[in-house]
Amino acid sequence: MSEVTRLALVTHAVTEAVTAARFPADEPLSEPGARAVARAARPVRLERAELVVTAPELRTRQTAEGLGLAATSEPALGDWRCGDWSGRSMDALAPEDLMAWLTDPAHRPPGGESIVELLERVRTWLGTLTASPRRIAAVTHPAIVRAVVLLALDAPPKSLWRVDIPPLSVTTLHGRPSAWTLRTTAHPLTPVG
């Protein structure tokens, strides 16, 4: 059996945008999110990581720091780029724009990226991980984790919104140059004690 890359993807804790159903912007964790991180137990798979990376946004860096992870920034893990929609409520969009975004993976918000483009960005990043097998922990966003799950399962892009990835959860995979295998999905980080 060849060596595999072991990847643990941690989603950031709750932000005000998550609670209010707004499109993401570069924002800090909410007070409840910061408290949840402070109470969370760090899983052994994160302790064993030989490489720890985080998305560049503040909320992912705060989650990594709160979990005691010394991480380097990885731009490919940045959140789905929603362009002019950043910080806006879903209710503020024209119904036809919202429906196009939810149903057409090639639809791009003004100044943002489509689901198809997001998947390609994540596919490229995943392709760099299996060259030298090791244990990797990455603190990122639910959209990135959804993309990884779809790519591992070879699921169509329109399935992205059918994968529920809650805040402060861990999804694990094993990767070889030929394919990724999904091990666990959205396992919550449990509170200490």
Angle, to 10 degrees, between the axis of helix 58-66 and the axis of helix 31-39? 30
33 by Cβ neighbours in 10 Å (0-12 / 13-18 / 19+) ranks as buried
Amino acid 150: pLDDT:
98
The answer to whether 33 touches 65, Cβ cutoff 8 Å, is no
Amino acid 132: pLDDT:
87
Domains of the chain in sequence order: 5-188 (3.40.50.1240)
Amino acid 193: pLDDT:
59
Amino acid 1: pLDDT:
40
- Alpha helix positions (H), the chain: 16-20, 31-39, 44-47, 58-66, 95-103, 115-129, 142-153
Residue 54 identity: T
Give the distance from CA 35 to its chain's centroid: 20
- What radius of gyration, in Å, describes the C-alpha atoms of the chain? 16
Q: Give me 192's structure tokens.
A: 């200490």
Indicate the Cα dihedral angle 108, 109, 113, 118, nearest 10°: -80
Amino acid 46: pLDDT:
85
The pTM for the full model equals 0.94
Amino acid 173: pLDDT:
97
Amino acid 16: pLDDT:
94
**pLDDT in tens for each of the 193 residues of the chain?**
458 999 999 999 999 999 998 998 999 999 999 999 999 987 777 888 999 999 999 999 999 999 999 999 999 999 999 999 999 999 999 999 999 999 999 999 999 999 999 999 999 999 999 988 899 999 999 999 999 999 999 999 999 999 999 999 999 999 998 899 999 999 988 777 5
